[in-house]
Amino acid sequence: MTNLHVSDHAVLRYLERAHGLDIEAVRRHIAYHCLTGDELRGLASLVNAIVEGDTVVTVLLPSMRPKKRARRRRS
């Protein structure tokens, strides 16, 4: 295997052209869920997003959140 770097742009275009993924639909879906959470002051956000200015720079799904460790009860 080579050390050739594949850019995010190349990956997106591949998914779009080879597999028919609608990138703009995905973009609208993420924006909708972020705006919904923001409008409700974060109470019902379906995704955790990191936003810089007016740009969503990454998205964390509930399955990606660290699991809370159970507290041990002292006897």
Q: Quick count: other Cβ atoms within 10 Å of Cβ 62?
A: 8
pLDDT(55) > 80 = yes
Cβ neighbours of residue 58 closer than 8 Å, sequence gap 6 or more:
49, 50
Q: What sign has the CA pseudo-torsion 56, 58, 63, 67?
A: negative
* pLDDT one-digit tens code per residue, 2-50: 799 999 999 999 999 999 999 999 999 888 877 765 555 544 455 677 7
* 3-state helix vs strand vs coil in the chain, percent to 5: 45, 15, 45
Parse the chain into domains and list their residue ranges.
8-63
Give the global pTM.
Answer: 0.60
> Model confidence at 64, in pLDDT bands (50, 70, 90)?
low
Structure tokens at 33: 């869920």
pLDDT at 11: 93
